[in-house]
Amino acid sequence: MDFKKNPEDGTNGRNECEAIEIIDYDAQNYRAYHLKTADPNDLAGLSVIPEGGVRWINVDAQCEDGLLRALGDAFQIHPLIIENIRNRNQRPKIEEYKDFLYIVAKMIYYAGDSLVSEHMNFILGYRYVITLGETKGDVFGRIRSFLENESAHVRTCGPDYLMYLLLDAIVDGYFDVLETLSDQIDELEERIMESNSQEHLLQIREFKKTLLKLNRNIWPLRDVASLMGKESTELVRATTEPYLRDVYNHIVQAIDTTETCRELLSGLTDLHLSNTSNRLNEIMKVLTIISTIFIPLSFLAGVYGMNFKYMPELGLRWGYGAVWALMLAVAGAMVCYFKKKKWF
């Protein structure tokens, strides 16, 4: 089951939406179609929903202001909500109005090697759900398959259950991202054990920044699921509240996973510094042993390098060879002593 968004399905920076996806369903009927939005007046009829049915209106790409206003007029959405939809820098939150709930969440996914945090707006009404994203493509493919299945539980439920499925798909996407990050952290740990490099610290820093970004987007969503899982609004039925509490538990689990990953990264930092220190100690030990061996050799060389005319050994024919033999014997004895002490 793949919840990752396909980066080839959309283009960042799109200024207008090509079409609005509309899905109408009830226990017996299902209809999915796209409404071309060249004329904002076409949106006026979207608020007329078949009796007993639920309508899901999904906008995958950024819309022009005129189309947003037309959509707001059709469903009597407060102008402040329209302004908030244009603001892509909001934190996840939930706001309750008279006839609908306004929810902001972040859809997080990998586009190639880049982590993308896409701003998502949800409007939950008594008989409809409106979703508005930033780019074409989403993580809701499984939900569309559910809606096509006549025996699916969602077909007999209201829009609040559809809202639960949408939030659950987004949270499942968080676990996909965290699983990928965990695998990358494990690979980094193996590289650190094999060799030390300054690049490892830079990678650890990048991972920490990514986890901080994840935590900043996931944590506020916990309050959204918590509020929806309580008897606090008529838009969420009592039968749906247990499912939303399950989403809340999944969000808490995702938060715990991010904290675990951050602790692992802290451990990797300590491991990198420890390996660096151990390697430095090994180098210093070798250099110290070499220096220690040369101390008596330097002494002998210094003694016989003095410019005294009357040194007893200077006249000996075999003096040069004797000094070399003495120096080699001293060096060999010191090496044997160090090995006996297990200093290397």
SS3 41: helix
Q: What confidence score (pLDDT) does residue 166 get?
A: 94
Q: Could you tell me which CATH number the domain at 7-273 has? A: 3.30.460.20
Beta-carbon count within 10 A of 287 CB:
10
Where in the chain does DSSP place strands (E)? 19-25, 30-36, 54-59, 93-96, 101-111, 114-124, 128-132
The pLDDT of 225-233, averaged and rounded, is 78
| CA distances in angstroms from 330 to 119, 273, 303, 336, listed in the order given | 75, 38, 15, 10
What confidence score (pLDDT) does residue 108 get? 86
pLDDT in tens, 45-88: 788 888 889 999 998 776 677 778 888 888 888 888 888 888 87
By the 10 Å C-beta count (0-12 exposed, 13-18 middle, 19+ buried), 323 is classed as middle
245-279 pLDDT, tens digit each: 999 999 999 999 999 998 888 888 888 788 778 78
How does pLDDT run across 169-221, given as a tens digit for each residue? Answer: 999 989 989 998 999 888 888 888 877 777 888 888 888 888 888 888 898 88
- What does pTM read for this prediction? 0.75
Q: What does the pLDDT read at residue 233?
A: 76
Q: DSSP secondary structure string, 306-342?
A: S--S--GGGG-TTHHHHHHHHHHHHHHHHHHHHHHTT
Q: Which residues sit opposite 234 in a β-bridge?
A: none
What's the pLDDT score for residue 12?
38
The pLDDT score that the predictor gives to residue 25 is 92
CA distance 316 to 24: 112
In terms of Cβ atoms closer than 10 Å to its own Cβ (0-12, 13-18, 19+), residue 107 is buried
For 259, other C-beta atoms within 10 Å of its C-beta total: 12
**What is the average per-residue pLDDT within 162-167?**
94
Average pLDDT value for the chain: 83
Q: pLDDT for 288-297, tens place per residue? A: 888 888 888 8
Other Cβ atoms less than 10 A from the Cβ of 213: the count is 15
Question: CA 189 → CA 53, 73, 204, 214, 270, distances in Å?
Answer: 53, 55, 10, 21, 11
